[in-house]
Amino acid sequence: MGIRKYKPTSPGRRHGTVLDYAEITCTTPEKSLLRPLKKSCGRNNRGRITVRFRGGGNKRRYRLIDWKRNKDGIAARVATIEYDPNRSCFIAKLHYADGEKSYILCPLGVEVGQAISNGPGSDPLPGNAMALNDIPLGLTVHNIEMTPGRGGQICRSAGCGAQLQAIEGKYALIRMPSGELRKVHGTCRATVGRLGNTDHQNVKLGKAGRNRHRGRRPHVRGTAMNPVDHPMGGGEGRTSGGRHPCSPTAVLAKGGRTRSRSNPSNAFIIRGRKKR
């Protein structure tokens, strides 16, 4: 996978880059695995804006991803590698021996025609899914479950991967990409390998229009508003706000903890991602 840069025919083209999509083998998705995707535009069920600066964007359809990977003992083959507008990594379409089709996150190095398997007895090769207890130590894994049978929740973005470091009793020790060390139950499943599309983080949008295509509207500073619109608005000339950064409803933006203290997964963190 590489990055393509066009001739600077306009200011947006001059600084923008795109992926060359060399790994993509099919541009038409599987119709049986598509679902409508409704846009919320940042509004809740009462129609109130809860997330600002969202709306518009290109129309998308959701691709059903097999997060659980629980079809054990049935051989599968990679049919196509496709682009998914709903996530940063690519997806691979599997054709199982019993005729079923499904999408999975495409790991780095997986090619069309490759055999994929799930469950105990599978070889620890990229794309194969199995319990953490069955994966050799030191391998990189992704799409990791936090609760057995619930489906993968950790390491699902492009280029992401966690390292299986140890097995202690019923739990496996996993080192996250952020440096966090976490315990996960050994019967939770994970997929071997690192996710592909590693150059996703190096793409430069180049112009505001490409953000609008993604449904991101312009982010307006509070100091640029009037006092009736924002607590930091108003003042003669340019000001720094005159108070600590806050939201339009005067909720402080910095310094407060955002993670819920009642989150049950906190008990499984051995070493946090932030240096004390």
Question: What are the structural domains, with CATH classification, of the chain?
Answer: 3-201 (2.40.50.140), 220-276 (4.10.950.10)
What pLDDT, in 10s, does the model give residues 160-214? Answer: 999 999 999 999 999 999 999 999 999 999 999 999 999 999 999 999 999 999 9
d(Cα 261, Cα 194) in Å, to the nearest integer? 31
**Mean pLDDT of all residues in the chain?**
94
Check whether 260 has a pLDDT greater than 90: no
pTM over 0.85: yes
Structure tokens at 82: 């496709």
- Are 207 and 16 spatial neighbours (Cβ–Cβ below 8 Å)? yes
Across the range 74-100, mean pLDDT stands at 96
What pLDDT, in 10s, does the model give residues 104-140? Answer: 999 999 999 999 999 999 999 999 999 999 999 999 9
Alpha helices in the chain (DSSP H): 11-15, 208-213
> Identity (one letter) of the amino acid at 192?
V
Beta strands in the chain (DSSP E): 3-5, 17-19, 34-36, 61-63, 76-82, 91-96, 101-105, 115-116, 129-131, 140-142, 144-145, 152-154, 162-168, 171-175, 181-185, 189-192, 269-271
Across the range 225-232, mean pLDDT stands at 95
Structure tokens at 207: 């112009």
